[in-house]
Structure 1
Amino acid sequence: MELLDVVDENGCPTGRAVDRETAHREGIRHRTAHVWLMREGRNGVEVLLQKRSANKDSYPGCYDISSAGHIPAGVDFLPSALRELREELGLTAKPEELIYCGQRRFSFSTEFHGKPFVDRQVSNVYCIWRDVEPENLVLQESEVESVRWMNLEECKAAVRESRIPNCIFLEELDMLPNEN
């Protein structure tokens, strides 16, 4: 059972913890860490998109953040961001390589597999500049089906115009730097 800290609007733990299923069923605020891999491509800055596994409980088969995950109870944003990079993509990074892009707070409700899904997150958003080819990554099959590089501006347009199946927030893409 994955326990998550219940947090205030700034992402500070309140001293309570709940399991992930309860957090999403009841809309309890919790934390996530988001990491965007970026590189200078031939036609400008590119971001690495992960395609979520078809087995995911939410947004299966959709393009998403390079690496992201819930923060376990008692753990902070940065260690979780580094762990998710290692687990989902097989990338090891040092804390100083992650560039803090900002914090997002959001809430939304939907339904997955006939059950209510209420997501209230406080997310720290990071980026890391890494020019790595997809075939050199070690993907966590239970989480990630595939990855692909996409020009940042093209990605923003694709998300805005719903041209690719995704669960990416345009607001988050706008937080990313346009150059290294």
Structure 2
Amino acid sequence: MPEMLDIVDENGVPTGQSVPRTTAHAEGLRHRTSHVWIVRRKNGRVQVLLQMRCAAKDSYPGCYDISSAGHIPAGAEFVGSALRELREELGVTAAPADLHECGLRRFRFEAEFHGKPFKDNQVSKVFCLWLDREAEDFAVQKSEIDYVKWFDLDEAVAAVEQGTIPNCIFPEELGMVKKFVGQTGGGC
């Protein structure tokens, strides 16, 4: 059975209609995702964990991306989906209270991947999670992720803005992470 997604309004509220994920991306129908940025303080600097998307991904294969992100299945909610994606993609078990909400993002884009048009129209809730764990200690989901790597947050922002690493990260979203870190004093 195909993965079903709720079609949502501009605030991420379901409209009562659900469609297969492939239909949402073929037609550019608005749906929801949860984005979790894992951050830590190391050697006096804030670092952010980025994942390298595997070559088989339906969009942006071989690009650095958010620590953990995923579509929200029909009937599910932002926080529950964020926690599920953390477990599935990285082997991280967290509680709802561990997630710090950074805001809501809306975006649309169109591209072509693997010879097929791809129309994305998302309402994403952005979270941060403080977690100090070495990259090799994450249990990455090999069907989705090649590996994870820690980046100095400021260096990651510059690399994304300047395009010096292959990525599918929106600079505004890394800005939300920087704002959160600044508000929390760079610690848990």
TM-score range, shorter chain: over 0.9
The one-letter amino acid paired with 2:36 is V
The one-letter amino acid paired with 1:125 is V
Q: How does 1:50-89 map to 2 (within 5 A)?
A: 50-89=51-90
1:144 aligns with 2:145: yes
The one-letter amino acid paired with 1:166 is N
Q: How does 1:1-180 map to 2 (within 5 A)?
A: 1-176=2-177, 177-178=180-181, 179-180=186-187
> Secondary structure at 2:176's aligned position in 1?
coil
Unpaired stretches in structure 2, ≥5 consecutive residues: none
Deviation, 1:42, is 1.6
Q: TM-score, length-normalised on structure 2?
A: 0.94
Deviation, 1:115, is 1.3
The one-letter amino acid paired with 1:120 is N
- TM-align CA RMSD: 0.7
**Number of matched pairs:** 180
> Secondary structure at 1:101's aligned position in 2?
strand
Identity of aligned residues (%): 62
Q: Which runs of 4+ in 1 moved over 4 A?
A: none
> Secondary structure at 2:120's aligned position in 1?
strand
Deviations 1:152-174 (A, max 9, x none): 11000000000000000000000
Asked whether the 8 Å contact 1:69–1:84 carries over to 2, the reply is yes
> Secondary structure at 1:119's aligned position in 2?
strand
> Secondary structure at 2:88's aligned position in 1?
helix
More helix by share: 2
